Structure 1
Amino acid sequence: MDHHTEFLNRSFGLTGRCALVTGSSQGIGYALALGLAQAGARVVLNGRDRTKLAAAEASLRKQCPAAEVSLLAFDVTDHGAVRSAIDAFEANDGPIDILVNNAGMQFRAPLAEFPADRFDQLLQTNVGSVFNVGQAVARHMITRGQGKIVNICSVQTALARPGIAPYTATKGAVGNLTKGMATDWAQHGLQCNAIAPGYFDTPLNAALVADPEFSAWLAKRTPAARWGKVEELVGACVFLSSEASSFVNGHVLYVDGAISVSL
């Protein structure tokens, strides 16, 4: 092995690491799980629907035959269930070295008519899940004195659009919760950061992708002039999950084609 390859493996390689990705049966979560597996990590897929999880596992094994894959089904909004599932996995299957808090949902409605139950659901799914899973996993990481947490924010962590004010509020909260995690847990050897995707072609955005008017607006509004591809998030996730980011903490990394820095 030459020095160049040795450096890359030492800095960015994830061989021997175990990564849990919440909400990883499709979309961004699946793409990140696949990318982490390709970087050498053992991946743990999570979701509520065991059938969808099994399908995701089969697809991942087909795309990355050497991957070591486990399934861990639990509801990220149920604090007790999360704690039980994480504790049992740690006891029976070994340490979780990397956590990617990806699970989330969207609901669009004018703010003046936004249903209160949907607002509560957004809070629990997008913010409560990051607290629930982050806390359960971090307790074990703190004991070991090391760990990587990557929370998935959004371009809406910094910007707002009509019809999604509660979603915007949740993603702003995830950005600040990331800062809080880093502030509390950096002293214990954890690096807690976030990725803020711009507009990506995912199942969550299917309605927007199918809308020619919105896609035309997006192309004009984004300096890169296009939708993002989910695989373009992998490099940021591998970096924040690896030794290369050993002194990066509390950072929100925007992967958005420059939409958040332009008018």
Structure 2
Amino acid sequence: MTHRFSGKTALVTGSTSNIGRAIAQRLAAEGAHVIVSGRNEERGAAVVEAIRSAGGRADFVAADLDGSAEVSRALAERALAALGGRLDILVNNAGIFPAATTLTADADMFDQVYGVNVKAPFFLMQALAPQMQAAGEGVIINLGSWVARLSLPLGALYASTKAAMETLTRAWSAEFADSGIRVNAVSPGVIRDPALDGPGYGDRFMAGTPAGGSGGPEAIAAAVAYLASDEAEFVHGTVLDVDGGRTGVAVVAGA
């Protein structure tokens, strides 16, 4: 493992499990001082302990990102304090997926999903961009989803929030380019949480794809690490699909 993030700092939202945890562990393994953040302090402490046991640097900052500017601002302030006042990499990973259709989603669910998935990262960007602008550099990586562009008969609300994040990726790339801030996104396909046993509901959506099955969170972490590194210095405003070919290759029924 390289140390391409030696001396760098990072905040990964929603990093107490699955994809976020893998991202935090990967960035720390490559030298970054990582802020692990989420609602569950016990799981957060476990992630921090795993990183430290492997020789990395990490701290936990609890945050229940509800979409309010105040909560996002508080997370930004506490993360900067723990990192010595400088943040180099922000990964907007936190998100929720309600198993609802358009006909079953109510107003409270709508507000909650947009609050966590769109408003929280928007206001976190608002709180942290000035520090990156002052430093003259920074990296933002958003998490999209394959369902933002390849629709399913359920989850319209969630899909629309991920489409919003992909749009914000391009908009922020244009808005903050003059400040030296790079903004990109990773769009995961069906990712299987290794903590769960047996096949998952989403695995059926990968039938007939080049990968032939769901992926692991480490694949997303590797993509994030690339986009966060200097190796991706010429990559701006893009959405990197890490989905086993689900959106890029036609799937033939029965194949």
- Would you say same fold, with TM above 0.5? yes
Aligned to 1:55: 46
Q: Is the 8 A contact 1:40 1:67 kept in 2?
A: yes
For 2:137 and 2:205, locate their aligned partners in 1 and report how far apart those are by CA, in whole Å.
Answer: 40
Q: What is the deviation of 1:113?
A: 2.4
- In the TM superposition, what whole-angstrom CA distance separates every residue of 1:148-197 from its partner, at most 9, and x where no partner exists? 00001111121111110001100000000111111110110000000000
Residue 184 of structure 2 corresponds to residue 193 of structure 1: yes
For 1:156 and 1:175, locate their aligned partners in 2 and report how far apart those are by CA, in whole Å.
Answer: 11
Q: What is the deviation of 1:48?
A: 2.1
Q: What is the deviation of 1:40?
A: 1.1
Match of 1:169 among 154, 160, 168: 160
Aligned to 1:118: 109
Aligned to 1:73: 62
Aligned to 1:36: 27
Q: What secondary structure sits across from 1:191 in the alignment?
A: strand
Match of 1:141 among 111, 132, 157: 132
For 1:119 and 1:233, locate their aligned partners in 2 and report how far apart those are by CA, in whole Å.
Answer: 27
For 1:139 and 1:34, locate their aligned partners in 2 and report how far apart those are by CA, in whole Å.
Answer: 27
Aligned to 2:151: 160
Q: What is the deviation of 1:241?
A: 0.7
- In the TM superposition, what whole-angstrom CA distance separates every residue of 1:70-125 from its partner, at most 9, and x where no partner exists? 11112322311321332344356230100000000001122222222112111111
Q: Is the 8 A contact 2:8 2:32 kept in 1?
A: yes
Match of 2:217 among 223, 230, 237: 230
Residue 45 of structure 2 corresponds to residue 45 of structure 1: no
Question: Structure 1 residues 161, 97: closer, same or farther in 2, change over 3 A?
Answer: same
Question: Structure 1 residues 19, 184: closer, same or farther in 2, change over 3 A?
Answer: same
- Greater shift in the superposed pair: 195-204 or 133-142: 195-204
| TM-score of the aligned structures, taking structure 1 as reference length | 0.87
| TM-score of the aligned structures, taking structure 2 as reference length | 0.90
Q: Is the 8 A contact 2:133 2:180 kept in 1?
A: yes
- Greater shift in the superposed pair: 171-180 or 157-166: 157-166
Amino acid at match of 1:257: G
Identity between Structure 1 and Structure 2 (%):
34
Which structure 2 segments of 5+ residues have no match? 251-255
Q: Is the 8 A contact 2:206 2:246 kept in 1?
A: no
Aligned to 2:73: 83
For 1:56 and 1:171, locate their aligned partners in 2 and report how far apart those are by CA, in whole Å.
Answer: 26
Q: What secondary structure sits across from 1:75 in the alignment?
A: coil
For 1:91 and 1:56, locate their aligned partners in 2 and report how far apart those are by CA, in whole Å.
Answer: 20
Q: What secondary structure sits across from 2:169 in the alignment?
A: helix
Q: Aligned residue pairs: how many?
A: 248
Q: What is the aligned-residue RMSD (CA, Å)?
A: 2.2
Match of 1:244 among 228, 231, 236: 231
Q: What is the deviation of 1:53?
A: 1.3
Q: Is the 8 A contact 1:218 1:225 kept in 2?
A: no
Amino acid at match of 1:184: E
Q: Is the 8 A contact 2:61 2:78 kept in 1?
A: no
Q: Is the 8 A contact 2:11 2:79 kept in 1?
A: no
For 2:206 and 2:187, locate their aligned partners in 1 and report how far apart those are by CA, in whole Å.
Answer: 19
Amino acid at match of 2:172: M
Q: What is the deviation of 1:209?
A: 4.0
Higher-helix-fraction structure: 1
